[in-house]
Every structure is written in C-alpha cells, then in structure tokens.
C-alpha cells in the first residue's frame, strides 16, 4: 500500500469558550453599585461554606461543544460546587450542575427582547430562582421553578428565597435585601465604613484597658 493511500487521521478542532463577551459589566454607576452589592453580600453570606460558588458577570456555558449558547448573569449562586477561581462556568466540568439562583440588574439600555431571551435561557437550562431588579423604577420581579418551569412570584415584598434564605423588602424608597438574621445587605462603602468604625472602637477599648493596667 502506498503512503498516498493511507487514511489521514481526522483533524479535530479545539473549541474555545471565551471568558468575555466583550460587553461592559454595567452601563451606569447605579447598576454597577447594585451588582457589586448583591454579588459581594452573597459571597459574604456563604463565605464559610466551601461548597457554594458565587460569581458575578461570569459567562455560563451549559452545553459542551457549544460556545454560542451562553449567558453572563449579574450574579449567580451554585450550590454543590467548590469555591475557586474560574474563567467561565463550564457546566459539564461542574458535575452538570446549573446555577440554582441568578440575579439581573436592569439599566435603561436593556430591551424587552434581550430580557425575554435571558428569561428563556434560565427557564430552559434549569435555574431554580431568578430575580430581576430595576433600580431606576424601583421594580422587583422574581420567578421560582415549579413543575419544571419558572413561574412568576406574585408578591415579592418580604419574599424569602428558598435557596438563599435572604428576604426582599420593597416597601421603602428602594429595594433592601436582608440576610437570614435580618441584617441588611450593605454597599461596599458601607462595609468599609463599618469596618473602620469597628477598628476605631477596638483601638479605643484597647487604650482604656492599657490605661487601667489590664493589658
């Protein structure tokens, strides 16, 4: 048999799953502040649980060998997956586990067609809870999976997330989210100020104890 007649091995093309969709995380400062607040407080909520992964603005690919079916939620929570850095969330490498809870924060530039497509994606690929907040109109919507489909939550004020245990309050001038213990979600600035105040109190107490000869 001549060399020319030997069958050539098939050429397999490696599929690349981009880690960025080229879109900005937020369109304005209010939207950015809300995204950071929600994602950061969710990180804090599950800081001591090694098997809860929280991410913000990370591309999620639910289907292997398909790099076009993807979405970047403003915040997502995955129970049953370890913490750790990832470039993107490749579901088939994560035990096939889809994010159970996702959040989206609207900007004035978001269009109905875009948000409908996001809802369809979350509905199709198994998200259990989906929360959508418009900080400009102070409007909160939520959906909960029931009998295989995401169904609208009729009353969102004082609603408690079954998965997260956090609750939502929209009776004030804007949305507030609360930890299971009732503590309010704090912005990054508020957290920094609270830490600075706590450190100042600790220094003051330490000075008093030294003055009293107790240290």
Same domain for 96 and 164? yes
Helix, strand and coil percent figures for the chain, each rounded to 5: 30, 25, 50
Same domain for 123 and 164? yes
> pLDDT tens digits for 24-39?
889 999 999 999 999 9
Same domain for 115 and 138? yes
Same domain for 72 and 153? yes
How many domains in the chain?
2
Same domain for 129 and 62? yes
Q: Are 76 and 55 in contact (CB under 8 A)?
A: yes
> pLDDT tens digits for 51-94?
999 999 999 999 999 999 999 999 999 999 999 999 999 999 99
Edge-to-edge strands of the sheet including 149-152?
A: 52-55, 75-79, 101-105, 129-134, 139-146, 149-152
Rg of the Cα atoms in the chain: 23
Query: Exposed, middle or buried by CB within 10 Å (0-12, 13-18, 19+), for 44?
Result: middle
């Amino acid at each position: 048999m001549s060399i020319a007649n030997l069958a050539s091995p098939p050429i397999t093309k490696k599929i690349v799953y981009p880690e960025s969709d080229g879109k900005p995380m937020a369109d304005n400062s209010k939207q950015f502040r809300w995204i950071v607040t929600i994602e950061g407080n969710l990180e804090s909520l599950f800081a001591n649980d090694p098997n809860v992964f929280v991410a913000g603005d990370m591309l999620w690919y639910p289907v292997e060998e398909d790099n076009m079916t993807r979405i970047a939620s403003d915040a997502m929570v995955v129970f049953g997956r370890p913490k750790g850095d990832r470039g993107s969330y490749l579901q088939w490498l994560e035990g096939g586990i889809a994010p159970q809870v996702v959040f989206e924060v609207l900007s004035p530039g978001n269009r109905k067609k875009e948000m409908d497509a996001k809802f369809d994606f979350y509905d199709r690929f198994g998200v259990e809870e989906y929360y959508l907040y418009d900080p400009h109109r102070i409007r909160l919507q939520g959906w909960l999976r029931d009998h295989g489909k995401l169904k609208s939550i009729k009353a969102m004020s004082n609603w408690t997330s079954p998965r997260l245990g956090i609750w939502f309050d929209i009776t004030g001038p804007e949305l507030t989210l609360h930890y299971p213990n009732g503590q309010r979600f704090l912005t990054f600035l508020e957290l920094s100020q609270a830490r600075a105040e706590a450190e100042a109190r600790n220094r003051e107490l330490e000075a008093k104890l030294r003055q009293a000869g107790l240290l």
